[in-house]
Structure 1
Amino acid sequence: MKITITDAASKWFHDDMGVTTGNGVRFFGKTYGKTAVHSGFSIGLMRDDEPHNPIVETVKDGVNYYVNDRDEWFFKGYNLTVDYDKNNDGPSYDYEPNGE
């Protein structure tokens, strides 16, 4: 699995969530909702500066974006690209199969 954060998404995280160098953002699966690859589950995110057993991490503009091992079930088999959706004024998510 790989996480890609676009420049536009990074700007949103900095401007709207107030993250700065050294901060972290954790992505996780949560019940209810729907994604392009999951029915009954949606993606969540939260500011969390202390990863716990991350399975994947990427640093963009000084911020660590990651998924912990307990959420592997949600992301297994996919790479995640996080972009900015101007219509919703928030992040958008693209799941690309990675052959896992």
Structure 2
Amino acid sequence: MKFMVSDAAQKWYQDNLELEKGDGLHFYGKVYGKTNVHDGFSLAFIKEKPHNPYYVKQIDGINYFFSDNDIWFFSGYDLQIDYDPAIDSPKYTFIEED
């Protein structure tokens, strides 16, 4: 389980959420929607500082993370976060772990 965040996606988060060093983005699974590997659940995030996260990827002082409660959603997958200019939003792709 790991996050890969492209430079373009990171810039989108910083510009749109006014992220500063020390801030965090908590990613989690929510009911409704779908991902490329989950049917009935989609990916959500909230800006908050990490408190005992299960996994953290820090890039330029920003903490991208999920907690123990979210393991079920990320287990067995890596999350690739990129930016899609066609919709001016991040794009999320789950990839099976090796």
TM-score, normalised with respect to structure 1:
0.93
Flag structure 2 segments of 5+ consecutive residues without an equivalent. none
* Letter of the structure 2 residue corresponding to residue 73 of structure 1: W
Q: In the alignment, which residue of structure 2 is the partner of 1:98?
A: 97
Q: How many pairs were matched up?
A: 98
State the secondary structure of the residue aligned to 1:52. coil
* Matches of 2:9 and 2:74, distance apart in 1: 19
1:10 touches 1:61 (CA, 8 Å); kept in 2?
no
Give runs of ≥4 in structure 1 deviating > 4 Å: none
Q: CA deviation at 1:53?
A: 3.2
Paired position in structure 2 for 1:5? 5
Aligned to 1:68: 67
Aligned-partner SS, 1:36 = coil
Instruction: Give the gaps of 5 or more residues in structure 1.
Output: none
The CA deviation string for residues 7-54 of structure 1, in whole angstroms up to 9 with x for no partner, is 0011001101110111000000000001100000000011011x2332
The RMSD of aligned alpha carbons is 1.0
Structure 2 CA distance for aligned equivalents of residues 57 and 10 of structure 1: 15
| % identical aligned pairs | 45
Q: Are the counterparts in 2 of residues 25 and 64 from structure 1 also a CA contact under 8 Å?
A: yes
Q: Secondary structure at the match of 1:54?
A: coil
TM-score w.r.t. the length of structure 2 is 0.95
User: Would the aligned equivalents of 2:76 and 2:97 in 1 still touch at CA under 8 Å?
Assistant: yes
